[in-house]
Amino acid sequence: MERKENMPLWVFLGLLNIETRKGAKILFWSSLAFALFCIPLSWYLNDWWWFGIMLPIVIWYGLSIQWVDKHSFWD
């Protein structure tokens, strides 16, 4: 994605090599699926590190997609 003049840095970095909305949605849903997979795995291993990393990433991707939908456009 090319950075627009009014685009915040966090949105640009979140969607750096994503050109289409479809690609961004695939990234979001696959990240969400992996984060949900990390819940039972973290419970079993008693190590919540992976889930703790994936949750903010999923939120970041979702907020970045929403920002572009509301304030900009997709290629």
Model confidence pLDDT, tens digit, residues 18-45:
999 999 999 999 999 999 999 999 889 9
Q: What percent of the chain has pLDDT over 90?
A: 76
| Rounded CA separation 75/69 (Å) | 12
Query: For 40-67, what is each residue's pLDDT tens digit?
Result: 998 899 999 989 999 999 999 999 999 9
The pTM is what?
0.88
| Rounded CA separation 26/20 (Å) | 10
pLDDT value for 21: 94
pLDDT value for 72: 86
- Classify residue 59 as exposed, middle or buried by CB count within 10 Å of its CB (0-12, 13-18, 19+): middle
